[in-house]
Amino acid sequence: MQHTWKIYDLKRNIADGVVIEVTYACESAHEQSGTRQIGDITLSGSASDSGFIAFDSLTEEKVLEWVHSNVDKSSIETSNSASIAQAIVRQAARTTKRGTPWD
């Protein structure tokens, strides 16, 4: 099972560049099956905080650190894995298929 964490979007204050919301996803795949969970976290802070990183200097890796410290990463990955496992079982149990021979 492959789990890939991504940042989809950042919401920030225009005046100081402080990120106040992160939209993230955990995209999971195994063989031909996949799923994803998308979520948002709300952040607080100010540009005067110790360790503040200017918006233009942020990296996806740094923002993912924020996400992982605010969500239950293991639970999300486990949920995605279970969803994919169920899809694989359903597909293996299929007894009919739609389509034409020229597809």
59-80 pLDDT tens trace: 999 999 999 999 999 999 999 9
Residue 103 scores a pLDDT above 80: no
Q: What's the pLDDT at 20?
A: 97
Residues facing 27 on adjacent strands: 4, 36
Task: List C-alpha distances in Å: 89 to 10, 71, 82, 92.
Answer: 37, 29, 11, 5
Token pair, residue 97, equals 């298929």
pLDDT 10s digits, 73-101: 999 999 999 999 999 999 889 999 899 99
Rg, the chain, Cα only: 19
Edge-to-edge strands, sheet with 2-12: 2-12, 19-30, 33-42
